[in-house]
Structure 1
Amino acid sequence: MSKRKSDASEKEHFASRPPQIRKMAQPTATTIIQLTPQEERLKSLLLEVARHVNETQEGRDPVILRWAGGWVRDKLLGIQSHDIDTAINVMTGAHFSAEIVALCKIPEMVEKHNVTETDIGNLHKIAANPEKSKHLETTTIKLFDFDVDFVNLRKETYSEDSRNPQVEFGTAEEDALRRDATVNALFYNLNTGKVEDFTGGLADMDNKLIKTPLDPFQTFMDDPLRVLRLVRFASRLQFTIDPNAEKVMGDSKVMQALRLKISRERVGVEVEKMLKGDHPRDALERINTLGLYHTVFTDPGKADAPKPDISNWRTVYECLDRLREARTPGSIYDVLVHTKEAAYFSWVMAAVVPWSPFVNSSQKPGKQPPPYATLAAREGIKAPNKVCDVITGAERHRPDIMALKNAVCAKEPYINERDRFGMAIRHWEARGGQWRLQVLSAFLVEAWQVLDVTTKDTDKERDFLKGWQLFLDHLQEIDVMEAPMLKRLIDGRQLAKELGIKPGPWMTRALEVCVAWQLRNPEATDPVGAVEEVRSKAKDLEIELPVPEKIRLSGD
């Protein structure tokens, strides 16, 4: 990396720019941010380190520190943040961080800033990784309970024949112009105590507008991940995306660049943040309306994969959002979604519902291929294994789930058979996990199939919800919700001993017979009845029971 203009030469740099650009770029320095006492401590320490560097390293431009991006935005919105990006004008983040650690070992500095052993954490360097669009090394250190990243101001220059930019030291303006959105391009100058705005970010904050500092098309082609970052910030902040940016976010060239230029891990990080945020429905709505679905939720490695119909996808995430908003004790959402993790899983499942009609027929010896919905989550957004397992289970168990739900709605004569329902739930849990979310997936798929939010058929929607509520209420009534947690009255070793035979392949099925018997006899505390149940089904279970003594004698 080569050194470029310093902050000391910024006035000269502005003067050299065309008048129309110079007018836009002059920083606004009238906005004041009120710091908390802990932030004041951090600011004081960093300025002390900067003064020390300036005094000991003569012949160079003075160090100027700025807090950048998200922390500034959130402070202006009244949101407290413990992650602070610190931009440095004339030295690398690693160099400045090393100065902090060294000075905090000096007794005078420790006493002056009241630094304790727990106030200063270890340095962590995150290496540059151009192949994953991380173009500069970052150094992170824990300071006064803040996670502080240090990096130098930089300029990024992209060329058509390279996916990776040339990165140089830059001015604050150049650093602001390379960012994804104007609201993320604000600086808090620690030396002046004021906000600097080189891109119109303060006005866009007032107008609740997400806008790129430079031409949107070029911004997205330089780094296509910015498309998803703008979606995330717009949904998180409840801002509107600039219409000029919206026009090109779904452009075929931009989408192709997103597929080829950005790792799926980074795509997944952005989507995960969206779906774990406060407005996941809005994030999916923007992905839908901007035409991003087939680029995000897909398996990029399967060019021959089918293309799902998303014309009614809106019904899915709208329905899930309504469930969440209408949550009451015992309601569908309350019964099926118990944790923050489950809430995130539910939105991933909503995202891949359009893949549910397709059957993956690719053949691999000895192994059933994963459903297309699983591949869309696993390969498209690199979803965690746990959520992929749930999606796989939901896809494979949906026929059984629907059969039991429809039976309850139709009041079939067998719906009070606890073993039928309890053993099904145990099966779902054992093969996929989180059976409640598998049921939610079946709910979402049926909503996608039978409802249409654009028609506003409230009677049809009410009957649909009533059927699922009836099903879940019935599971509660027959007390099978905790069936996977049912403790067996007898284990395999004990069962083999009671039967007088050695353990073998028969054991798994025999123990299931015992559990089914327990579900039919919830008050039982003695497993004798379960053992007799296994004896009675010995032939079906392929168990060779010992011949009783009297029968052997008479046979002789």
Structure 2
Amino acid sequence: MMQRAMHVPARRSVCTQLKLTNVEQNICNLLKDYSQEYNKMHSSTEPIVLRITGGWVRDKLLGFFSHDLDIAVNNMSGEQFAVGLSAYLSEHYEKYGITPHSIHKIDKNPEKSKHLETATTKLFGIEIDFVNLRSEEYTNESRIPVVAFGTPQQDALRRDATLNALFYNIQNDSIEDFTGSGLQDLQNGVLRTPLPPRQTFLDDPLRVLRLIRFASRLGFIIDTETYTAMGDPDINQAFQHKISRERVGVELHKILQGPDPMIGLKLIQQANLENVIFYWHSDPAVIEYNSQKTDMIAANDAYAQLGGHIHLVIQKLPTLMNALPQLQERCDNDPVFKQNFILCVILAPFRDIQVIWNPKKKMNNRASIVECIIKDGLKFGKNDSELVATCVDTHSTYDDMVVSYEQESRSKIGLMLRSFKGEWELAHYSNLALAYCQDDKSLSRYQSFHKYVFDEKLQDCHALKPLLDGKKLTALLNRKPGPWMKSINTEMIDWQLNNPNLGENELLAFINEILPKYT
């Protein structure tokens, strides 16, 4: 039976009246004035009612600063309203002191969760999105809905959580809670879907990750019925064919770089979603090719171990972070480091497993499955995927070095550190975390090695360059450039690492000694 997350949030004081900033008040006053004039001129039609929706309302009620202003229009498209507003501003420049900005129309892009056209403009220096109220209907095959104009209640009920379905009615300066429980859930720190959760998640499984992200960001719990539905096997399958990997990656990126990614990982693991979240590719043809041409036993075993491994990491990592305040500080101040550190640790079961990433290539067509998970499965950047894969796949080598560094040469240690291209501390702390998960005693030896690196001034050895550049080297040796220079450059770096206090003359003598091997 799936366990529920044990985190219990503090009860929050939530008021029903918003305190607007001066800029927000200016924006609302302008929108009220234009709506009033429009309604007078079109008295025979439904009057305009404007509502600020979603995240801005939630964040303002929680006391957070927010400039994410999405405004829903009840009786026309966002573009129609923005065009009329722009014309109104042109006529009333002196009253408001701002000129109309250009209106940028954002077309529908369902793969990026843009299900309706949006008009974007700038008012008093703030980007504003205008869109009409809408209803949505889904099919079993896609998370892309059929969208139509809707009522305020329909627009509220289609949202992922009740506390994200609150509206601020600009016309009468009031909070509207059409789900009936949004304000209470916000006060209690509870995330629940406005409609029955199973169907909500089957319609759009991305909502599962969004709720997990909000739980991680806000420290809220997920309502029991809602959280139980997240673990439904049908939801797990829906992830595979209804959500693009880009959308999965966007949500995971926000979770891992957020204030408490451990909450998010715990919810993912307890809902048995780790296998679909951290899947290794987005192209079914590549996946099928590997299933036929590549021995995938190791990869399948790694996926079988992944949930248990993440559970262990979640248990052990907080203790390690408490013992290493410098690691906690680094994660707090560097969200990208924190993201990659967590990925390095949780993807350890995939160490040294390779797949064919491009069946069309005959040579050099294999890649680390860790790199594929991050680059092709999550659509993160190439640099991050390569770095994390390097850290994961060299764990055994790094751990052996930590155990035996006192018996190793300075150059061997330096060359290993250089392989991480300036990110050796990511490798160090992630490998420490992995070792710590298995043996608490590993902390002291990793700390000793970390001190050794700084004592030996090796922390920046990735930036070490040969004392003699190519032009100077060829002049001193009276030789023409050639293939021999690459080997000599490698030898120079190795020599400099072993002889940090010697200079060019000693280096040149060393080169003259070894040069016959390469010419």
**Normalising by the residue count of structure 2, what TM-score does the alignment of the two structures yield?**
0.87
Task: Quote the residue 1:547 is aligned against.
Answer: none
Greater displacement, 137-146 / 148-157? 137-146
User: Match of 2:61?
Assistant: 76
Over 3 Å counting, the alpha-carbon distance change for 1:392 and 1:446 in structure 2 is same
In the other structure, the counterpart of 2:96 is: 113
Which residue, 419, 429, 433 being the options, matches 2:411?
419
> Closer, same or farther in 2 for the Cα pair 1:297/1:279, shift >3 Å?
same
Whether contact under 8 Å (1:475, 1:481) holds in the other structure is: yes
Higher helix share: 2
Task: Give the conservation status (yes or no) of the 8 Å contact 1:187–1:196.
Answer: yes
Shift of 1:446: 3.0
* 2:129 is the counterpart of 1:165: no
Q: Which residue of 2 aligns with 1:21?
A: none
Q: Is the 1:336–1:436 Cα contact (8 Å) retained in structure 2?
A: no
Name the residue aligned to 2:341.
Answer: 346
Match of 2:217 among 233, 236, 256: 236
Could you tell me which amino acid in structure 2 is paired with residue 446 of structure 1?
Answer: A
Counterpart of 1:485, as a letter, is: A
Q: Which has the larger radius of gyration?
A: 1
TM-superposed deviation, 1:361: 7.0
Which amino acid letter does the alignment assign opposite residue 523 of structure 1?
A: N
Task: Say which of 422, 434, 438 aligns to 2:427.
Answer: 438
Report the aligned-residue RMSD.
2.4
The structural deviation recorded for 1:355 is: 2.0
Structure 1 counterpart of 2:205: 224
Aligned to 1:153: 133
> Offset of 1:324 from its aligned partner?
4.2
Would the aligned equivalents of 2:347 and 2:392 in 1 still touch at CA under 8 Å?
no
Tell me what 2:271 maps to.
Answer: 290
In structure 2, what is the Cα distance between the partners aligned to 1:506 and 1:335?
A: 42
Unaligned runs of at least 5 residues, structure 1? 1-29, 451-459, 545-556
Distance, in Å, in 1 between the alignment partners of 2:376 and 2:317 is 24
Counterpart in the other structure of 1:314: 311
CA gap of 1:183–1:163, structure 2 versus 1, over 3 A, is closer
Paired residues of 1:315 and 1:447 also in contact (CA < 8 A): no
Structure-1 residue corresponding to 2:4: none
Superposed displacement of residue 332, structure 1 = 5.0
Distance 1:292 1:121, change over 3 A: farther
Structure 1 residues 377 and 161: alpha-carbon distance in aligned structure 2, compared to 1, 3 A threshold: closer
CA-to-aligned-CA distance 1:445-494 (integer Å, 9 cap, x gap): 3345x2xxxxxxxxx42x12112111111111111001112243211121
The structure 2 residue matched to 1:207, chosen from 160, 173, 188, is: 188
Output the CA distance in 2 between the equivalents of 1:179 and 1:136: 14
SS of the aligned residue for 2:367 comes to coil
- Is 1:371 equivalent to 2:365 in the alignment? no
CA displacement at 1:514 relative to structure 2: 1.7
Q: Which residue of 1 aligns with 2:386?
A: 389
| Structure 1 counterpart SS, 2:366 | coil
Q: What SS does the aligned partner of 2:122 have? A: strand
Q: More displaced, 269-278 or 51-60?
A: 51-60
Residue 457 (structure 2) aligns with: 479
Q: Is the contact between residue 89 and residue 152 of structure 1 (CA under 8 Å) also seen in structure 2?
A: yes
Matched residues, number: 486
Deviation of the 1:507 alpha carbon:
1.3
Q: CA deviation at 1:225?
A: 0.5
CA contact (8 A) 1:276 1:344 kept: yes
CA contact under 8 A between 2:215 and 2:221: conserved in structure 1?
yes
Hey, what's the Cα distance between the residues in 1 that align with 2:82 and 2:341?
41
- Tell me the distance in 2 between the aligned counterparts of 1:136 and 1:312: 41
Deviation at residue 323 of structure 1 after TM alignment: 4.3
Question: Do the aligned partners of 1:264 and 1:381 also contact (CA within 8 Å) in 2?
Answer: yes
Stretches of structure 2 that go unaligned for 5 or more consecutive residues are 1-14
**Match for residue 94 of structure 1?**
79
**Correspondent of 1:38 among 2, 6, 23:** 23
Structure 2 residue 506 is the aligned partner of structure 1 residue 529:
yes
Describe the shift of the 1:71–1:491 C-alpha distance in structure 2 as closer, same or farther (beyond 3 A).
same
- Shift, 1:122, TM fit: 4.1
Alpha-carbon separation, structure 1, partners of 2:48 and 2:499: 77
- Name the CA distance, whole Å, in 1 between partners of 2:26 and 2:75: 23
Deviations 1:59-98 (A, max 9, x none): 3211100011111111111111111111110111112122
Alignment CA distance shift 1:498-1:350 (3 Å)? same
Distance 1:508 1:397, change over 3 A: farther
Inter-partner Cα distance in structure 1 for 2:479 and 2:363: 31
1:359 Cα deviation after fit:
4.1
